[in-house]
Each structure stands twice: as C-alpha cells, then as structure tokens.
Amino acid sequence: MQIPLEIAFHRIDKSDAAESEIRARVDKLEKLYGGLVGCRVRVDQRADKNRTPPVVHIEMSVPGHKDLVVAYEPERLMQKFQNPDLRNAISDAFDAAERQIVEFKRQREGGATADYHDGTNQFLGQVAEMHPEEDHGFLMTKEGGLLYFHRNSLLSGDFDKLKRGDEVHYVEDMGDTGPTAAKVRPVETPES
C-alpha cells in the first residue's frame, strides 16, 4: 500500500490481539487486490457496551474510485451471533470487505469471473421466519444468527410455500444495511 495502514480504537481498550488480526486481514485484502492504495480501520464501542458489540469501520482507498467502505452495524452481529464479541465484529467486517474488494476487482477487469465461486461460498440454513405479505423472510445460520432474504433472492421453488424449518442453501451477500442471504435454493427432499 502507498499509504500506511491506520488503525484506531475509540471508546474501547486497544487490544494487541485485535490489532494483529486486523493487520493480517488487511494483508489478505492486499493479496486479493494489489492496487489497494490505503486502508483505515476504526473500532468503536457504542455507548451501551454491555448490550452491543463494537462497530468495525473499514475504508479502502483504491485508485480512480471513491473509497470502498464497510460500516458493520452491531444489530447485524446480534442477529448473526448469540453473544458477538470484538473477534466476531472484526471477522464479519473483513469478510464483507473481502467480498467488496473482489467485486470491485471483477468490475475493474471487465466483469471477469469472481475469485469466489458460489459453490464454495454456499451455506446450509433453515427458514426461521416468513413474511410473504412483505416479500421477505429470515434464515437461521449455522451460528444461530438471522439473515434477511427477499422474495427475489429465491432462485427455485415457490416463495409462498416456504415455511419455518425448511432447509435451504444460500450465499451470504452484502446488502445496503449489512449481510443478507442471496441465491436461496430450497433443499430438495427425495419423494417418498
């Protein structure tokens, strides 16, 4: 990187382990996209630290484009993990940053195939809630958290026939407000 990595901790004690993890994850970002100019990471604890996990904010500077930003909100972590901590916040924020930088690289290279194939990023989940009148539902992840999915995310099957407990395959994607389930496919059960 042309600009040295900036790491800041606000309203939370600086942790050598957290800083080491952040540096390792930024190294991975550089490997995914060699044109990364700079990276700023801010770890911030909201006012009610007993009830909300820390927020990890990542800004990635790339040439000829506005900064790529990941602002991972604590509400998403609380839906995904039962007791989210700083390690979960760092991991999820950098997972989102990696997806974003890979997509940016793909677009820069004229839409070439993404480095991550859906098959390797596909997860098994279970329908937790359905709101067909509002065209969305929530999937329970293997970690016990909830991921939002929209009617349009369903690639096969009938959205209106999905019910709580149905198993589905999905790919985690980054939406406007955080992670969502995309490319949702019901698990086919053999006919009896």
pLDDT, tens digit, 9 for 90 and up, residues 126-157 = 999 999 899 999 998 877 788 899 998 888 88
Query: Which of 12-16, 33-37, 140-144, 184-188 is least confident?
Result: 140-144
Q: Is the pLDDT of residue 162 over 60?
A: yes
pLDDT of residue 72: 67
Q: Is the pLDDT of residue 18 over 90?
A: yes
pLDDT of residue 130: 93
pLDDT of residue 143: 75
Domain ranges of the chain: 6-108, 118-186
Start-to-end Cα distance in the chain: 58
Angle at 39 between CA 36 and CA 43, to 5 degrees: 150
Give 6-108's CATH code, choosing from 2.30.40.10, 3.30.160.100, 3.30.70.3400, 3.40.50.720. Answer: 3.30.160.100
* Structure-model confidence comparison of residues 144 and 169, the more confident one: 169
pLDDT of residue 113: 44
pLDDT of residue 147: 87
* Structure-model confidence comparison of residues 75 and 160, the more confident one: 160
Domains 6-108 and 118-186 belong to one CATH topology: no
Burial 7-31 (b: 16+ CB within 10 A, else e): eebeeeeeeeebbebbeebbeebee
Q: Is the pLDDT of residue 16 over 60?
A: yes
Q: Is the pLDDT of residue 108 over 70?
A: yes
pLDDT of residue 115: 42
Distance in angstroms (rounded) separating the CA atoms of residues 171 and 48: 32
Q: Are strands 68-72 and 55-61 parallel, antiparallel or unpaired?
A: antiparallel
CATH number of 118-186: 2.40.50.140
pLDDT of residue 157: 86
Most confident of 19-23, 59-63, 121-125, 152-156: 19-23
